[in-house]
Structure 1
Amino acid sequence: MEKYTVESITRNTLSQQVLDQIVKLLQSGQLKPGDRLPPELELMEKLGVSRPVIREALSSLETLEMITKRPRGGTFINKKIGKTPFMVMLALSMDNLPAIIEARMTLELGLVTLAAEKITEEDLKKLKETIDLISNSPDLNYGSHDREFHRIIALSAKNPVLEGMIDSLLITHEKTDSLINYREPEITVEHHTAIYEALMKRDPYESYKQMYKHLNFVRKKILENHPSKD
């Protein structure tokens, strides 16, 4: 890693700082899409952190689809990273929970208004199915159905420019969903149903209103139990 210029890691949130350093190497051009990352031992030595810290940072980068680990082949920067700058910003903010939630809200509120104009009957049918699955879930493990509801709406916007952000949206959803300490399926079903009915009426204003109500509820619920460190 001699050709890379990095800063020593000395503060808290070590894995986030390792992630920041790798992103900075990308931003400066010292690392490029398709490049192979140095081995874990070399990263540990140059950054002055332990193996678990390195692995946690690499795991976050993998979740963000910025790197790919190849069995016996090493870890590589994904070639498509240059086409998804939003992923880089998301990587730099993964420990800033309020910012992550606000990013999710901004994306979803815009997408739902477009979806109200473009959503198909087939998409509406699929939305209703996710609501029924949550309602009939035998336990509280309905996160996949929740994400599918939001994914269908995002794709229903049918905007090729915004499609590159949908993966980022789903990552913010997964991040926020993992921080919910207790589930309230009745409220989820109530909120999702209100959004579904607004979309069914092709009403972008009501769709926005109901999506905001839902996401603001989620934001307050998460931040109550995970207050900002600022």
Structure 2
Amino acid sequence: MENSKEPAIDIKSLSRKTLSKQVIDEMIELLMSGQLKPGDRIPSELELMEICKVSRPVIREALTSLEVLGIVNRKTRNGTFFSDKIGSKPFSMMLALSVGDIPSIIETRVALELGLVTLAAEKITDEDLEKLKETIEVMKNLPTEDSSEIDKEFHKIIALSAKNPLFEGIIEPLQNLHQKVLEQIPLEDRDLENTLNYHIDIYNALEKRDPIESYITMYRHLDFVRKKAMKSLEVN
């Protein structure tokens, strides 16, 4: 690496407490502050040791954690680089740590999907709408009250229709979150007829490309699911 071509790196000196975590925080700050950008090569282990005033094991522990989170990619010969696109792992881990807090998970899903559906209303294509329509037709003909798989597909299509690369990284964990919420509702309480009607209302709003109506119809649907899930939790 030619030092003359590299930007000056400004990382605060670290205390001896939780050194690895502090290195991780400072590495993320390099991105947040704009000193380095996604895809940029980060300083070598030796350079980071000098900058942070910590040992090589501390640096390696921090880099390993960042790699597990998908924030950096290590390339044996070329060095370590910030990922071009941060995936869903940080979000997935956050959800995993909150696995027992179903009310918070439900609220997180509501907040995310309300944002996604308003964006989708502005960007959705005729092809996306046709896919949504197909999921509704499948739901109409289900031989059971369990619509969880086709329901997940319906919401995934909407999420992808938002066409936002930052949101795309959290679609998979959002789907897992969706499944966790549905699991709280006994099959006999799923109320497929109402679920179907909510989906039709959401589809109609999206077809009109109306963000406000899309928001309202999605909220009604998610609030219906939330109340079902919370009632089940109270019973258990």
TM-score (normalised: structure 1)? 0.64
2:146 and 2:192 in contact (8 A); partners too: no
Distance in 1 separating the partners of 2:229 and 2:93: 24
Distance in 2 separating the partners of 1:172 and 1:222: 13
1:196 to 183, 203, 206: 203
1:140 and 1:183 in contact (8 A); partners too: yes
1:98 and 1:228 in contact (8 A); partners too: no
2:103 to 74, 98, 101: 98
Q: Helix, strand or coil: the match of 2:153? A: helix
How far does the alpha carbon of each residue in 1:114-166 deviate from its partner, in whole angstroms, 9 at most, with x for none?
00001111110110111111111112232111100000000000000111111
1:117 and 1:203 in contact (8 A); partners too: yes
Q: Does 1:206 align with 2:213?
A: yes
Distance in 2 separating the partners of 1:34 and 1:117: 35
How far does the alpha carbon of each residue in 1:17-44 deviate from its partner, in whole angstroms, 9 at most, with x for none?
xxxxxxxxxxx84963667xxxxxxxxx
> 1:1-230 counterparts in 2 under 5 A?
29=62, 32=65, 83=87, 84-181=89-186, 182-227=189-234
Distance in 2 separating the partners of 1:222 and 1:190: 19
How far does the alpha carbon of each residue in 1:47-94 deviate from its partner, in whole angstroms, 9 at most, with x for none?
xxxxxxxxxxxxxxxxxxxxxxxxxxxxxxxx9xx7432222111111
Distance in 1 separating the partners of 2:195 and 2:166: 29
TM-score (normalised: structure 2)? 0.62
Structure with the greater alpha carbon radius of gyration: 2
Distance in 2 separating the partners of 1:87 and 1:170: 11
Distance in 2 separating the partners of 1:29 and 1:227: 42
Distance in 2 separating the partners of 1:29 and 1:228: 44
How far does the alpha carbon of each residue in 1:94-118 deviate from its partner, in whole angstroms, 9 at most, with x for none?
1001000011111100000000001
Q: Number of paired residues?
A: 160
- Structure 2 gap segments, 5+ residues each: 1-60, 69-82
> Residue 185 of structure 1: CA displacement?
1.1
Identity of aligned residues (%): 52
Root mean square deviation of aligned Cα: 2.7
Q: Helix, strand or coil: the match of 2:163? A: coil
1:194 and 1:210 in contact (8 A); partners too: yes
Distance in 2 separating the partners of 1:175 and 1:147: 11
> Residue 171 of structure 1: CA displacement?
1.0
> For residue 221 of structure 1, what is the amino acid of its counterpart?
K
Distance in 1 separating the partners of 2:63 and 2:205: 48
> For residue 212 of structure 2, what is the amino acid of its counterpart?
Y
> For residue 65 of structure 2, what is the amino acid of its counterpart?
K
> For residue 198 of structure 1, what is the amino acid of its counterpart?
A
